Amino acid sequence: MKGTERRKELLEWLAQEKNLSLVEIVERFEISKMTAHRDLEALEQRNALKRIHGGVVAIDKPAPPAANGNVKQGTCVICFRPASQHLLYSLTMKNGEQKVACCPHCGVSAHLMHGEEVAMALTADYLTGRPHPAQSTIFVLGSAAAPCCKPSMLTFEDTEMAQRFQDGFGGIIGNLDDATNFLQEEMSLHRDEEGCPHCAAAARKE
């Protein structure tokens, strides 16, 4: 595993566990303590984590305020709605800044806005609320179940559960790239209609 891939996986792991010991890191990645220290030092310099004696802890940062000052910690960076555990989507930028979205719809919107600035992203399983990497999640796109922004975009950790949900509520199954393409197409088709505040704004910029 390359160093960049290892550090990315380490950040995803830390985001879930909130703290890790040096021993755990060494054992999981099968690296020396010196290599682990170099990785942690590089990530700390990016303000992506904080080193403590014997390990590291995650750094939780609030989403930055918008120009109108309406964004509060725990509200969506796209549409300013409160974020809930079963729909939560969070992004960590390459500079260590963290952004929170109310649902996968707005999370993917944030991906489109920030592009290569995004270092990693976590989403929650719609059924269990358990966080996991967005890059490996299973999306159900455009189903009849729309608990937040439309079109509905829900995420599942388990493929079988995603398929069962699709059987009941419709939609299509895909990965993060499919979700990005799906949202871009929706934004293009409905650019003149009322809908997600970000979709309308993004369409106007094109």
Q: In terms of Cα–Cα distance, which of 121, 125, 116 is closest to 101?
A: 121
Output the pTM of the full model.
0.59
Q: In terms of Cα–Cα distance, which of 89, 108, 91, 77 is closest to 182?
A: 108
pLDDT string in tens for the chain (206-residue length): 788 889 989 999 988 888 889 999 999 999 999 999 999 988 888 778 888 878 888 875 444 444 333 334 467 888 777 777 778 899 998 888 888 998 999 999 998 888 889 989 999 999 888 889 999 999 999 999 888 888 899 999 999 999 999 999 999 999 999 999 998 888 776 554 444 544 444 434 43
Q: What is the largest distance, in Å, between two alpha-carbon atoms of the chain?
A: 56
pLDDT for res 67: 38
> How far does the chain reach from its first CA to its final CA, in angstroms?
39
Domains, the chain:
3-58 (1.10.10.10), 89-205 (no CATH)
The 3-state secondary structure of 2-55 reads: CHHHHHHHHHHHHHHHCEEEHHHHHHHHCCCHHHHHHHHHHHHHCCCEEEECCE
Whole-angstrom CA distances from 174 to 9, 87, 132, 166, 181 are 22, 17, 16, 11, 10
pLDDT for res 60: 56
Q: In terms of Cα–Cα distance, which of 109, 118, 119, 84 is closest to 200?
A: 109
The answer to whether 92 and 11 have CB atoms below 8 angstroms apart is: yes
pLDDT for res 189: 63
